[in-house]
Structure 1
Amino acid sequence: MLLSACKPKLELLSFPPLKRVHSASQSRPPPLSPLSLPPSPSLAQIKQAHARIIVLSGHAAAAVKNKNRLLGHLLLRLSLASPTHLDYPLSLYRSIEPPSVFASNNVIRCLARSDLPFGSVSVYASMRRRGVSPNEHTFTFVLQACGKGVGLLEGRQVHAHAVKLCFCGDLYVRNALIHLYCACSEMGAARRLFNERPGCRDVITWNSMVAGFAGDGQIDVAKQLFDEMPKRDVISWTALISGYVQNGQLERGLECFKEMRECGLMPNEAILVTVLWASAQLGLLEHGRFIHSVISSLNLPITVSLGTALVDMYAKCGSIELSRLVFDQMAQKNIWSWNAMICGLASHGLGREALALFKGFLSVGLQPASVTFVGVLNACSRSGLVREGRQYYKLMTEKYGIEPEMEHYGCMVDLLGRAGHIYEAVDLIENMKVSADPVLWATLLGACKVHGLVELGEKIGSKLVNLDPTHEGHYVQLSNIYAKASKWADVIRVRRLMAERNANKVAGWSLIEAQGIVHRFVAGDRQHELSSEIYGMLEIIEARITEAGYSPDVSSVLHDIGEEEKENAIKVHSERLAMAFGLLVAKDGDCIRIVKNLRVCADCHEVTKVISQVFQKEIVVRDGSRFHRFKDGACSCLDYW
């Protein structure tokens, strides 16, 4: 049966011809050859050798039984050397009676590293039923499989076996147990094992504990353990830095990376991708450039993962030119590399360029994913390309069969709303297959304000404040619609309603990087060490932009205070403080780069345009919506944001 499975096109092994055995009384059966297998045989060649053994065994099975078992182990080892499919090695393993512990461990190890790690547990149970005694390597591999599959119940049973058979004193078994409990977020059990035998620890033990507590959100405990480590390696630093990043302490993670470099350790690809991601999220170009310089100084190859992280980092840090340069220089790209570049161009308002790149993406034969169309539709939205947006939305659903997700609906609602197709956007939301996110209605409410649709805006605004009564932004938008229509009684009513419901305001902040240090500002901030100089610069800015013809727009201020107080409130918005600081420390020709967590208000947007002209400075602001590049009194968004 095995012989018939070998196709004629496959390369065949050369075996000596078989001789017919006339009777059992004749001389001993022909000895088995060493099978003439090459050093790295293919699966087909291994199956041919297997078939040869079966044929030879048929002549005198009893005489060659033990040798067959040894050859079976040899074939099993060869078939597991580079396994692509484990069906054949598993069937071969089951045919060996009894299998050695070495063969069992080899099968368990391969299954533990596969996509079906719990197969290791089944093989372990099988070997126990077949009377094969496990050793320390058996437990190490099985526990690794349980950790990979987050199999706490199975892992506890294997742990009990290890205790009964006295293997828990082995360092590698203990490390596998600690890793298992950390992977299953059972940090209490992991800590007990860690404390049981202080003398039975190595750097892997410590690394598992640091990574476990960091992954469980207990970053302070992880840092304490890290500080207590007698010896650290790059994995130790990776565990701590990744922990900071995963727990939202991005700036601390970047600081740790610099500390690691000062220790002279060479970073691995995983840690570089992590810190590039952190820089991208914070929009910190200087940090990102520093990481890129480390990669260059170490002559590390730009892999697909590393190149994609660099493309994403430069795009999100406001340097779309460097992002495109890295993308064009990448020797190899995958779908995520293209997605990062398309989304980056879209966020910078370069809609036509993003669509051209998408056509290039299709021309190289790649299949777009859901996130690809988020970038494409966002490009259309940011550039007001209504016709193209409709075409690509149809292409996504009809040709590629991608079901629209909330992000796709958001792009289309934004596109249609900005272009004045409000009722088409309403129909799109109402015909969605999933419940509409309040963000979609909020997007449409903003469009109603722009296009003066008071009645529809009132309906949508009422729906929003009922859906999310604690979100201050909904009240602000609804009030602004009434104010634009001079319906002051309704403005007062909305203000009172907001106060009664204790609507929460999301705290706004702005970041600016100077000489490798991140400076964070909030509205009215006076905590900075240069606070007096910053407020002095604000007065200079105010005087010069007023001379240039600026007049404040206080429509975004919803407090029941006088016009002068509203103007003063706007003057100390977080981005204005960051901008004043940037003007103080920036050198001639430097671009001022600011990251803001919320959407920039209309007045600050106008002020920044005037500042870029009066002070002859290029200013890049990444807000909660997109990038704004201000230069010579104009913004790259063309006031379309």
Structure 2
Amino acid sequence: MFISKTKPLRCLTKHISKFHLSTALFHTWHFLSLPSSPSLTQIKQAHARILVSGLAADARFMGHLLAHLSLSDSVPLGYCKSIFRAISFPSVFAFNNMIRCLAKGNSNSPLQSLALYSSMQRGYLKPNNYTFTFLLQACSFASANTEGIQVHTHVMKLGFGNDVFIRNALIHLYCACSRVENSKRVFEEDALCRDVVTWNSMLAALVRSGQISVAERMFVEMLDKDVISWSTMITGYVQNGLLKKGLECFNEMREKGIKPNEAILVTALSASAQLGLISYGRLIHSTIESVNFPLTVPVGTTLIDMYAKYGCIEQSKFLFNCMPKKDICTWNVMICGLALHCHAKQVLALFQSFISEGFSPVNITFIGVLNACSRAGMVSEGRHYFKLMTNDYGIQPEMEHYGCMVDLLARAGLIDEAAQLIETMVVPLDPVLWSTLLGACKIYGLVEMGENIGNKLIQLDPNRDGHYVQLARIYAKARKWEDVVRVRRLMAERTRKIAGWSLIEAQGRVHRFFAGDREHERCYDIYKMLESIGLRVAEAGYLPNISPVLHDIGEEEKENAIKEHSERLAIAFGILVTEVRDCIRIVKNLRVCEDCHEVTKIISRIFKREIIVRDGSRFHHFKEGKCSCLDYW
């Protein structure tokens, strides 16, 4: 009764008489009952049972072993070859599975499958559609265009040209070999021989080649879109710099009720973080929660990074603590995020926890740690971690590490030590480091040294307007107006100055302001609010710091110029249109000037508003008259 009802044993009766069924043969049933994704250990156990059962010469059993191995993520090629060699007369099934084992991208030898295919032909075995699918996969992994064309020729000669799986593999092959026109030709040859994978393969080929507008038209034509179709399109937009379109595509997918996969969520969160659009980021996060998507390492890490870039560092910390599993990337994102928000002590504490968890720091880990020390002026700690990085962990300093140390030393007034560090660098010199020293010369009023470094920088990089601005500010602070005029004239002749702007997201869109901007539709209201702010901060004891203004003009004109800086216009607009308890979030492309920094602190106190400004250097959290940077930036 047991034998007659057991399907695997019915297969065996074709090879062995049921009257000679032994106890050993009974155990082979366990082999045929392997799970769909068995581990290597389980496969080897099944192999052992076959050997003990005396069935090692049975091609069917050995072929099934190869089939399971071919589905494994990590293929032990030596083991696969030994099994294949044990088969006296391999069938097409056995050949196909051995080809598939060799064809995998992690086999390091995908083109060996072509040699095996030649061996198969010499044995007068006729390949089937699976054979060519695996061969084309091998050519794709190896980006072997010439060999792929030869396989394509065999496909056509042997009459497999209308097999949809082979056509999909051909499209993918030519895409992998950057032959998108060939992919198009295969796609267009037979409009009736297509499935959703065909469309997705062609869509991916177009996106990969940067033909985003063509991909867009094809996406609209697709009648049957699956989650891969949406993922390809969203990723295509983001990879081609069309971040807003990528987020709009995500929103459309969400409205159609399609559940996103991990790749879509990570891509959309990354795009949102780059744009600094908190409304989109929160929408994506709410989608994750509404579909009960697990907080996987990639999704959790990207959420932490996104909130850190929005200025919501507390939310980043909450997510970090909630994650059930973290990898080294998660820890590094949290360390760098805290550093960006000037939480130096928390960074150093987190670094110690990171080490205690058994992780080994890498390049980016120390960038975060040294950045934190630099932003907090922790000189002795910075020196300690710089030595720890090189002496204990053998990490060679790169430009970012040197940049943190030079900034730390220069701001602490240790300009000679910073200059010596630059001179002893083992990586190619970046003018940005001398620019950091130039900024320190302005802070400490070192006109002669600043003049030397400024002139050196202008020679090294004459097209960068920042060098001229820094040098002009040093001259302006020393009231050397003729030199200011000379440097600014040189700047006008040689460079194109980058205009300062500030962004604020409000009322469902992003608003951009420039200094002295009069283009906004609520310009009148903004300047009325700016006037009101000016009166209230003056009553609170504010006195303008006009040193950043580089012109030899009247004091009143300088004060007016500072009052209309882009971040002040954005703050005025933010007070106008947001609720009293709402945080005002601003992104500025350049560094906040000293006067705007001071006045923003006063605004946060008298208006009882939290204001977060992300400038070209770091995040500033203004609250109750104080800034998170402690005026050290």
TM-score of the superposed pair, with normalisation by structure 2: 0.88
- The two structures, once aligned, show a CA RMSD in angstroms of 2.7
| CA displacement at 1:226 relative to structure 2 | 1.6
Q: Is the 8 A contact 2:70 2:100 kept in 1?
A: no
When structure 1 is superposed on structure 2, of 563-572 and 512-521 the one drifting more is: 563-572
Q: Equivalences for 1:306-455 in 2 at 5 Å?
A: 306-455=299-448
Contact 2:265 2:284 in 1 (8 A): yes
**1:227-255 deviation per Cα after TM superposition (whole angstroms, max 9, x unaligned):** 22222222222112112222222222222
Query: Cα deviation per residue 1:313-337 (whole Å; 9 max; x = unaligned)?
Result: 1111111111111111111111111
- Alignment partner, residue 583 of structure 1: 575
2:94 corresponds to which residue?
Answer: 103
> Equivalent residues in 2 for 1:109-148 (5 A)?
109-116=100-107, 119-131=109-121, 132-148=125-141
Matched, 1:279 2:272: yes
Match of 2:532 in 1: 540
State the 1:358 CA deviation.
Answer: 0.6
Query: Quick one: distance in 1 between partners of 2:595 and 2:214?
Result: 45
Counterpart code for 1:446 = G
Q: 1:120 is paired with a residue of what secondary structure?
A: coil
Please tell me whether the aligned partners of residues 247 and 271 of structure 2 are also in contact (alpha carbons under 8 angstroms).
yes
Give the secondary structure class of the aligned counterpart of 1:594: strand
* Cα drift, residue 561 of structure 1: 6.8
Cα deviation 1:571-621 (Å, max 9, x = unaligned): 443322322221111102111011222222223222322221232211001
Question: Where in structure 1 are there 5+ consecutive unaligned residues?
Answer: 1-28, 58-66
Deviation per CA, 1:456-479, whole angstroms, max 9, x where unpaired? 222222222122211111110011
Aligned pair count?
A: 601
* Paired amino acid for 1:532: Y
Q: 1: distance between equivalents of 2:517 and 2:129?
A: 60
Partners of 1:289 and 1:155 lie apart in 2 by 45
Q: In the aligned structure 1, how far is the partner of 2:156 from the partner of 2:564?
A: 65
Percentage of pairs with the same residue? 59
Relative to structure 1, the CA distance from residue 101 to residue 623 in structure 2 (aligned partners, 3 Å threshold; closer, same or farther) is farther
Alpha carbons of 1:75 and 1:612: their partners in 2 closer, same or farther (altered >3 Å)? closer
Cα offset, 1:105, TM superposition: 2.4
Q: Identify which of 210, 215, 232 aligns with 2:208.
A: 215
Deviation at 1:169, TM superposition (A): 2.2
Q: Which stretch of structure 1 is more off in the superposition, 463-472 or 359-368?
A: 463-472
Distance in 1, matches of 2:160 and 2:565, equals 63
2-side partners of 1:616 and 1:568: how far apart? Answer: 25
Q: 1:206 to 1:500 in 2, by over 3 A?
A: same
- Which amino acid in structure 2 is aligned with residue 330 of structure 1? M
Say whether 1:512 aligns with 2:499.
no
CA–CA distance in structure 2, aligned partners of residues 135 and 565 of structure 1: 83
Residue 37 (structure 2) aligns with: none
2:78 is matched with which residue: 58, 83, 87? 87
User: Which one is further off, 268-277 or 480-489?
Assistant: 480-489
Change (3 A) 1:636 1:471: same
Q: Could you tell me which residue of structure 2 aligns to residue 609 of structure 1?
A: 601
The offset of 1:563, in angstroms, is 5.8
Q: CA deviation at 1:275?
A: 1.4
Contact 2:99 2:117 in 1 (8 A): no
Question: Residue in 2 aligned with 1:633?
Answer: 625
Residue 345 of structure 1, CA deviation? 0.9
TM-score computed with the length of structure 1 as normaliser: 0.87
Cα distance 1:210–1:73, how it changes in 2: closer, same or farther (>3 A)?
Answer: closer
**Gaps (5+ residues) in structure 2?**
1-19, 35-40
Structure 2 equivalent of residue 206 of structure 1: 199
Amino acid at match of 1:121: L
**1:28-56, Cα deviation, whole Å (9 max, x unpaired):** x9999548343446354356457658x89
The one-letter amino acid of 2:427's match is V
* 1:214-253 correspondence to structure 2 within 5 Å: 214-253=207-246
CA separation in 1, counterparts of 2:524 and 2:89? 83
1:267 aligns with 2:257: no
CA contact (8 A) 2:270 2:306 kept: yes
Residue equivalent to 1:63:
none
- Larger displacement relative to structure 2 (574-583 or 206-215): 206-215
